[in-house]
Structure 1
Amino acid sequence: MAKQYTVLRGFNQSRTREPFAVGPSPTGLEALIAAQAIPQVEVRTLNKMEVLDTARDPEVKGIAPVMPIKLIEPTSNDDVSATAGDAWGISAVRADVSAFTGDGVVVSVLDTGIDPNHPAFQGITLVQKDFTGEGDGDGHGHGTHCAGTVFGRDVNGTRIGVARGVKKALIGKVLGTNGGGDSDMLFQGITWAIENQADVVSMSLGFDFPGFVDQMVSDGLPVPAATSIALEGYRANLRMFDALMQMIRARAAFGQGTVVVAASGNESERTAQKPYEVAVSIPAAAEGIISVGALGRAGNALEVASFSNTFPQISAPGVDIISARKGGGLISMNGTSMATPHVAGVAALWWDFMRQSDTPANALGISSKLLATARSNVFAANVDPTDRGMGIVTAP
């Protein structure tokens, strides 16, 4: 039976050993050539034999079944009157005292789109690309809120943006008005951002494993079979992300490269009657992507949000986050979705810092700076280090 698969292509002389394996990293001259290649993705309908034949193509770096994705659902608080003052996350990551603004840095936000008419985005060149078929714009509001935290301008005296000097943003609409999409849309969005020379890619979304299982069960499959098929797809897509990030890292080794950050997920529940924690989900779990956990305030200290998945690499403010509301004004939301754009914004500040210094600026160096400068002395005594990663992201 034929199914839809996403196929990742790039320069590679090594053949994959089995359909969903990641090929070895190129070396020598092959690595130099690979670094110049832009990853290419396509969606194809394939039967089992065609999957094998495609995997044997020396240019194929990865192949995975198309799976549903969704935004990492935030919880919305209330609309916020735009009174003077900063959103608390800005000062928590020390963007308010940084001498750097992100000027000259290109940031890509892959989400539900953006409200280009919001005052927070005036004066910014917004390059929009729709991968959902709905057209440009933001019918949901999630993407507008996330973009506002990364680079939004002040709204009636309220600062919401970490990197207010960013003048160009690539807005990839990979999620529709209902907050859903599929993995092919996401892979297309990432490669589009790379092709258009994004310095930072921010993703506040995740794979909808339960939704994939439910979809197959509603189509008549027994639960064990649906779960097994979903696990196979999940594994293949994780390997696909690993292969894509391998290509991105190869480019960074010979050029500037791209810093990719993603939300760890909101599936944990530390305050439930039977508390539980879930580890970082994909795409954040992929090798080379910086995974982000969410923090809230606990008096004069910080604590990990009850919903934030465990084992992130770094953390950022994600509770009571004020940013742009679709249609105008401001709104406060909670989620690792809100934490991720803080890290993307700080990454833009570090790009600005590195480019103004004598140190060569590249994605590997920026990623190292983000992790090495994270602060761990701001947390409440009961915070588990495995829940907050290296600490709270910190601006230069």
Structure 2
Amino acid sequence: MTKSIIVRDDNFGLRMATGSRGFDTLDRGPVMGATNGVPPKPSIEVEDLSKDDMNDLRRDPSVRAITQSMPIQLITPTESAAAAGGGSVTWGVKAVGADVSAFDGAGVKVAVLDTGIDPTHVAFAGVNLQMKNFTGGPDSAPDGNRHGTHCAGTIFGRDVGGLRIGVAPGITEAMIGKVLGDDGSGGSEMLFEGMKWAQAGGAKVISMSLGFDFPGLIKRLIDQGWPAELAGSVALEAYRGNLRAFDAIMDMFRAMAQFDGGTVVVAAAGNESERQISANFEVSVSVPAAAFDVISVGALAEGAQGLTVANFSNTNPILSAPGVNVISAKVGGGTVALNGTSMACPHVAGLTALWWQAQAGLPVPLTSDGVKARLRSATDSGAFAAGVDVADRGEGLAKAPPGAGV
């Protein structure tokens, strides 16, 4: 028996009864979703299943994916030597143009799936924080790590000690899903349940600075006495299965956009590259940032001749944003400067909220596809130092909508 995750569309039978078509998971085209007014309804079940149980479930047409649970972990940042303070606006907020934008994210609900939040921090005063703990324990459990608090501060934090840290400080509704424990680890079922919760709760943006822990699963199995070859094979199958499950959830989100406008998912690219060792020591974007329809974000640093890509930032992101010397909220009060694609991701999550707000004022349908299109088309490709590889910085530096009529 093994702990398994079942991703199901609870409206599948109703859609079939009304003559609606199902999902085309091969091309993920517009045929998936709902006709006759019946949207998909994702559900996540976690059960102990035998191989026979799993095979039986795979014959159930309402089951979109079934996979073994695997560990997830935060994309670990490092503390910066930069002083946590000074000036009136963080360099990241200024670099993406949020400080001069006509928009502040008002009216847009965001979700942060991470280690939780310090709800008493002054940066979150006036924000209605809907907290849910998927790791066990009370929903009110605070952030015992610091990672989630820092990320949330960059998205919607209010000024701290006269310093603007938030890209979208007009946000007043935030969903805080604790999908990682205070040690920064969790299970993939926690992430999937958090995603479903956020989407069902009306979040228009989901920010996640975490990844599937493939090496961690191999180590866990070996520590349990599994032969290395078998541990690697089982871990690979779990990794592939979890990617399919993530894609199945994203497919349903995309189909549901016909009814609720959709949700934009933003994820950190990962910190596995080590360009300080060799220019060729580059690791590609990790999952879930590499999954279908996710906006992956790489990390940038300030340079004398323009922006540079951080040595640790994984290559092939869709967009890039400030990820070095990023000052944001610190658990217990005050601020701290951290480095990581974890710090770049919330800049883009905040910008996505600004683009939702900006698009709401235009005479066009308000959808996640439209928001993503504007976000990706508004990048700055001229802010970089000479020699920065396009593959490393993606389509460019993500930017805020400047003003009305964008």
**TM-score of the superposition, structure 2-length normalised?**
0.92
Query: Are residue 395 (structure 1) and residue 400 (structure 2) matched?
Result: yes
Q: Structure 1 residue 133: deviation in Å?
A: 1.0
CA distance in 2, matches of 1:23, 1:40: 21
Contact 2:92 2:326 in 1 (8 A): yes
Q: 1:147-226 to 2 correspondence within 5 Å?
A: 147-226=152-231
Q: Structure 1 residue 24: deviation in Å?
A: 7.3
The amino acid across from 1:9 in the alignment is R
Query: Are residue 47 (structure 1) and residue 50 (structure 2) matched?
Result: yes
Aligned to 2:7: 8
How big is the alpha-carbon RMSD for the aligned residues of Structure 1 and Structure 2?
2.0
Q: SS of the residue aligned with 2:131?
A: strand
Of residues 248, 267, 283, the one that matches 2:253 is: 248
Query: Are residue 228 (structure 1) and residue 233 (structure 2) matched?
Result: yes
Contact 1:114 1:171 in 2 (8 A): yes
Contact 1:313 1:389 in 2 (8 A): yes
CA distance in 1, matches of 2:58, 2:32: 23
The amino acid across from 1:96 in the alignment is D
Q: 1:46-195 to 2 correspondence within 5 Å?
A: 46-77=49-80, 80-135=83-138, 136-195=141-200
Contact 1:263 1:339 in 2 (8 A): yes
Q: Structure 1 residue 361: deviation in Å?
A: 1.3
Number of positions where the alignment pairs a residue of Structure 1 with one of Structure 2: 390
CA distance in 2, matches of 1:81, 1:387: 27
Q: SS of the residue aligned with 1:326?
A: coil
Q: SS of the residue aligned with 2:307?
A: strand
CA distance in 2, matches of 1:24, 1:58: 18
Change (3 A) 1:222 1:306: same
The amino acid across from 2:4 in the alignment is Y
Structure 2, unaligned runs of 5 or more: 17-23, 402-406
- What do the CA deviations read for 1:237-272 (whole angstroms, capped 9, x no partner)? 111111111111111134311000001100111111
Q: 1:284-295 to 2 correspondence within 5 Å?
A: 284-295=289-300
Change (3 A) 1:324 1:223: same
Q: Structure 1 residue 372: deviation in Å?
A: 1.1
Contact 1:22 1:61 in 2 (8 A): no
Aligned to 2:384: 379
- What do the CA deviations read for 1:53-88 (whole angstroms, capped 9, x no partner)? 111111111111100000000001258554442110
CA distance in 2, matches of 1:223, 1:35: 47
CA distance in 2, matches of 1:256, 1:285: 23
The amino acid across from 1:367 in the alignment is K
Q: Structure 1 residue 32: deviation in Å?
A: 2.9
CA distance in 2, matches of 1:383, 1:82: 29
CA distance in 2, matches of 1:51, 1:264: 32
Change (3 A) 1:261 1:35: farther
Contact 2:85 2:327 in 1 (8 A): no
Q: Structure 1 residue 37: deviation in Å?
A: 3.0
Q: SS of the residue aligned with 1:32?
A: coil
CA distance in 2, matches of 1:357, 1:81: 38
Query: Are residue 38 (structure 1) and residue 37 (structure 2) matched?
Result: no
CA distance in 1, matches of 2:36, 2:219: 43
Q: Structure 1 residue 360: deviation in Å?
A: 1.9
CA distance in 2, matches of 1:374, 1:82: 28
Q: 1:13-28 to 2 correspondence within 5 Å?
A: none
Aligned to 1:282: 287
Q: SS of the residue aligned with 1:211?
A: helix
Change (3 A) 1:33 1:50: farther
Q: Structure 1 residue 188: deviation in Å?
A: 0.4
Query: Are residue 341 (structure 1) and residue 346 (structure 2) matched?
Result: yes
- What do the CA deviations read for 1:122-171 (whole angstroms, capped 9, x no partner)? 00000000001143210001000000000000001100000010000000
Q: Structure 1 residue 359: deviation in Å?
A: 2.1
